């Protein structure tokens, strides 16, 4: 018999990681998260309990093992208040480090001209250079569901962009991932799970559908031919490299990487095997890991 579990789907974990002191989700954030959480699919079992992280208080009929989308301090506290028992989790400083876009950037930039900028001048210098589409994408250090992004044209930054950059550097993680906006023509992901001892369980490659803002729409397991052999190899290697880096940083638990195929102005195709690292559950994690669920082997 499968033991039911209590799930706290704090899909806004990146907001808490950016500003952990006293974080409480706003009404607008909570309203946006509920429709996403209701589409979580195979992550939860049929007898599992779903707890909402929007401030409402819950109490389970009986004590259950607890799981959180991302085991932030607030998520663990809400699980305990509901009577659930959270599993061991990495400390907050580790969660913040590995989910910060600087961590992904330090493993190597994958697009021409991309950089991680920590000053307004660095941003300005990067976006003054040519881009395949004459556009650049600025991404705050923490973000989810397409939030915290700004697309701008190549050239001098205008006053509204400068204000957004300054606010991002001061209040949203002290850095911006700056990369050329490219013509994406295929989105992919691959997932894994790290034990506290650093053992890696690897899932299969998946196809993802996202909207133009980067908001997740759906995930399905990739079929033969969806990825060219070189792309599949690069994605698999990127997952292993990411798992090794996460373990070295002290992280354990579920994670995933996003990837995409893109086309340049000469209609040549390229592959970015690691555009994002998500050191937590993801919307497609259970699809990519099934039928293996090492996360459920914990107490």
pLDDT in tens, 191-202: 999 999 999 999
Structure pTM? 0.93
Q: What is the CATH number of domain 112-180?
A: 3.30.1490
Count of Cβ atoms closer than 10 Å to residue 106 Cβ: 11
Check pLDDT > 80 for residue 121. yes
Instruction: Mark residue 225 as left, alpha or beta (left: phi above 0; alpha: psi -120 to 50; beta: remaining).
Output: left
Could you give the CA distance from residue 219 to residue 244 in angstroms, rounded to a whole number? 25
183-297 belongs to CATH 3.30.470.20: yes
206 and 232 Cβ atoms separated by less than 8 Å: no
Among the residue ranges 13-22, 53-62, 159-168, 273-282, the one predicted with the least confidence is 53-62
> Is 183-297 in the same CATH topology as 112-180?
no
The domain locations on the chain are 6-89, 112-180, 183-297
| Look-up of token digits 């914990």 | 298
**Per-range mean pLDDT, top range of 51-55, 103-107, 173-177:** 103-107
The predicted pLDDT at position 110 comes to: 97
């Amino acid at each position: 018999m499968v033991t039911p579990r209590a799930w706290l789907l704090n899909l806004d974990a990146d907001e808490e990681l950016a500003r952990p002191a006293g974080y409480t989700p706003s009404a607008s954030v909570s309203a946006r998260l509920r429709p996403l959480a209701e589409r979580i699919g195979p992550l939860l079992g049929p007898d599992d309990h779903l707890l909402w992280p929007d401030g409402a208080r819950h109490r389970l009929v009986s004590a259950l093992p607890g799981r959180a989308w991302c085991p932030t301090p607030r998520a663990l506290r809400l699980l305990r208040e509901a009577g659930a028992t959270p599993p061991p989790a990495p400390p907050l400083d580790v969660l913040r480090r590995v989910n910060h876009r600087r961590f992904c950037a330090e493993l190597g930039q994958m697009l021409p001209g991309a950089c991680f900028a920590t000053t307004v001048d660095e941003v300005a210098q990067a976006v003054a250079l040519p881009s395949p589409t004459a556009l650049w994408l600025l991404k705050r250090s923490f973000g989810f569901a397409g939030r915290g992004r700004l697309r701008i044209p190549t050239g001098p930054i205008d006053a509204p962009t400068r204000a957004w950059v300054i606010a991002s550097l001061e209040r949203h993680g002290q850095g911006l991932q700056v990369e050329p906006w490219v013509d994406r023509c295929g989105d992919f992901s691959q997932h894994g799970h790290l034990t506290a001892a650093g053992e890696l369980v690897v899932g299969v490659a998946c196809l993802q559908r996202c909207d133009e803002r980067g908001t997740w729409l759906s995930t399905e397991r990739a079929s033969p031919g969806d990825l060219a052999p070189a792309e599949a190899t690069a994605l698999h290697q990127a997952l292993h490299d990411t798992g090794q880096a996460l373990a070295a940083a002290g992280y354990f638990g579920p994670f995933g990487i996003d990837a995409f195929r893109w086309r340049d102005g000469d209609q040549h195709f390229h592959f970015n095997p690691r555009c994002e690292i998500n050191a937590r559950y993801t919307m497609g994690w259970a699809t990519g890991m099934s039928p293996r669920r090492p996360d459920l082997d914990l107490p």
